[in-house]
């Protein structure tokens, strides 16, 4: 899928649904998300495209409140804030393993290092 198409599949919570190998209907996906997803409902109510446009980011709700997903979601949204949506998708497509399960339970700084191409164990080096 072309990266432009992947941009349309970035979930409200910042997860790059189009990059994920699981091809599951992500709860936060704008295209086919779960109506009960906190991030999805909140962004729609606020009329914003994703948590990266929210003045309250990072909140302590939904994915951001779970130990399992918080680091991954916060890192993805922070990358979008800092680098833009198109660049984030490019980084995620090139540098994140498509099995997002590898990044669950990780700190945001660890995921940010992976997004920017750091090898495991080299997150603090250039």
Kindly tell me if the per-residue pLDDT of 30 is higher than 90.
Answer: no
Q: Are 105 and 71 in contact (CB under 8 A)?
A: yes
122, part of any domain: no
126, part of any domain: no
The dihedrals phi and psi of 26, each to the nearest 5 degrees, come to: -60, 140
- Per DSSP, the three-state class of 10 is strand
The pTM score is: 0.78
Query: Considering the chain, what is the average pLDDT of its residues?
Result: 78
Kindly tell me if the per-residue pLDDT of 123 is higher than 70.
Answer: no
74, part of any domain: yes
Kindly tell me if the per-residue pLDDT of 119 is higher than 70.
Answer: no
Structure tokens at 119: 């090898």
d(CA 87, CA 90): 5
31, part of any domain: yes
Summarised one tens digit per residue, pLDDT across range 39-84 is 989 999 999 999 999 999 999 999 899 888 888 889 999 999 999 9
Count of domains in the chain? 1
16, part of any domain: yes
Q: In terms of residue numbers, what domain contains 74?
A: 3-115
- Residue 68: predicted pLDDT: 84
């Amino acid at each position: 899928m072309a990266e432009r198409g992947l941009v349309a599949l970035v979930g409200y919570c910042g997860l790059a649904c189009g990059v994920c190998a699981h091809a599951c209907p992500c709860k936060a996906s704008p295209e086919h998300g779960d109506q009960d997803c906190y991030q999805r409902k909140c962004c729609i109510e606020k009329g914003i495209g994703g948590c990266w446009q929210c003045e309250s980011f990072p909140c302590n709700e939904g994915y951001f409140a779970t130990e399992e997903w918080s680091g991954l979601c916060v890192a993805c949204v922070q990358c979008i804030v800092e680098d833009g949506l198109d660049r984030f998708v490019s980084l995620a497509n090139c540098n994140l393993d498509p099995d997002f399960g590898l990044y669950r339970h990780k700190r945001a700084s660890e995921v940010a290092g992976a997004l920017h191409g750091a090898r495991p164990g080299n997150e603090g080096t250039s």
